[in-house]
């Protein structure tokens, strides 16, 4: 499978202790290439590494920044093996891939296994991964570096015109923490609710 040009390939596999917790197809992929970033940041597949933290599947599974801690729809048994530019998570559950819509915090089945997911990404990454916001950001000279996510304001759940939205890069872990908080705050709000969004200062307060 040709996933296209990669902007980052994970370092040597140095977290072998995590491998028994991972599905076999994912482990086979890590044995040949220990995670990667493709499509200009549009797809990040995590690796079995201890460092950097943003690339570590262990960090996504354990600790205060574990994805099941940040998002109520996930469980400790889920394997959040990848994410897109906006922080939506791709999760292996019972051998199949689900997409966690990070703003809303809901889980959607994609009805594919790990290998089929990567194949579909390779064939049509823009539509399958929803890369239009990243392409808009890039068209204005933006670049998403490995370890970063694309932050959008106002969030897509807020009804506004595309011309009123702005994009910026944030460290991946910071972005996921903010998305998890937002998802919890809006999950019970009915459609049409007026919300006031407070933008964190540079220190995250």
Pairwise CA distance, residues 181 & 168, whole Å: 18
pLDDT at 196: 53
pLDDT at 191: 54
pLDDT at 5: 81
| Mean pLDDT per 10-residue segment, the chain (205 residues) | 82 97 97 95 97 97 94 97 98 98 96 97 95 95 97 86 87 96 76 53 49
Pairwise CA distance, residues 169 & 165, whole Å: 14
């Amino acid at each position: 499978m040709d996933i296209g040009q990669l902007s980052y390939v994970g370092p040597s596999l140095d977290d072998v202790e995590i491998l028994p917790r991972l599905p076999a197809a994912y482990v086979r992929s890590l044995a040949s290439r220990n995670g990667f970033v493709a499509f200009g940041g549009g797809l990040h597949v995590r690796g079995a590494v201890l460092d950097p933290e943003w690339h570590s599947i262990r960090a996504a599974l354990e600790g205060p920044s574990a994805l099941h801690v940040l998002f109520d729809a996930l469980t400790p048994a889920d394997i959040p093996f990848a994410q897109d530019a906006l922080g939506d998570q791709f999760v292996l559950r019972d051998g199949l891939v689900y997409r966690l819509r990070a703003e809303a915090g809901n889980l959607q089945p994609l009805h594919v296994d790990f290998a089929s997911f990567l194949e579909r990404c390779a064939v049509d990454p823009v539509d399958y991964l929803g890369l239009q916001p990243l392409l808009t950001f890039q068209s204005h000279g933006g670049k998403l570096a490995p370890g970063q996510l694309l932050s959008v304001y106002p969030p897509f759940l807020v009804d506004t015109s595309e011309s009123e939205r702005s994009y910026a890069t944030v460290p991946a872990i910071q972005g996921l923490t903010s998305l998890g908080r937002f998802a919890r705050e809006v999950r019970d709000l009915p459609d049409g609710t007026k919300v006031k969004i407070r933008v964190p200062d540079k220190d995250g307060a």
